[in-house]
Amino acid sequence: MRLPKKERQKQLQLFLEAEPFLTDEEMARRFGVSIQTIRLDRMELGIPELRGRIKQMAQKNLDRVRSLSLEEVIGQVVELNLDHSGISVLEIREEHVFARNQIARGHHLFAQANSLAVAVVDAELVLTATASIRFVRPVRLGEKCVAKALVTRQTPHRTQVDVQTVVENETVFQGVFDVYRSKEDK
């Protein structure tokens, strides 16, 4: 049974506060309504589309990346707390997948995680020394990969960053990155 409009809009707002990376299509499926209905609800509530929400989050939650230019980070960085944590989002498009099965090439998931691990370190020169990675399940065309990085250990010249990538709350990739930080920093 469909929810009344006011209740649906209230639930929509709560869902998007909890999971701001949900697409209109995902919300339409959850509520059993059309994508256009979700768009109209968002407009009435003053909630921007996905790109707008990502941009708002990035403006509020972004420290200045020192180790890379922001364009060099694979995916869109939406949160960055240097030497602590970061989040990036990568939507899997045609150029990321194998043509025959529409599954994302692994190097794109690795690149998203690796570049986020480097970006989260507060230093001018940061290089990946080692990485221990695990692909948990295939990622398909159209899925949105949310990578979350967390600094777990630091020494004077090394930082360990754990990265977990999820699609709709399901882990698809895990990595532990040991990155070298130049001696001039810290």
Convert the pLDDT of each residue in 19-34 to its tens digit: 777 888 888 988 999 9
Question: Using alpha carbons only, how large is the chain's radius of gyration in Å?
Answer: 18
Instruction: Report residue 135 as tokens.
Output: 């692909």
Give which of 181, 42, 56, 31 is closest to 119, Cα–Cα.
181
pTM value > 0.75: no
With tokens 């709560």, the residue in question is: 14
pLDDT score for 47? 86
Check if the beta carbon of residue 9 is closer than 8 Å to that of residue 45: yes
Instruction: Tell me the pLDDT tens digit for each residue of 89-130.
Output: 999 999 999 999 999 999 999 999 999 999 999 998 999 999
In three-state form (DSSP H/G/I as H, E/B as E, the rest C), the secondary structure along 59-90 is HHCECCCCCCCHHHCCCEEEEEECCCEEEEEE
CB atoms within 10 A of CB 80: 23
Check if the beta carbon of residue 97 is closer than 8 Å to that of residue 105: yes
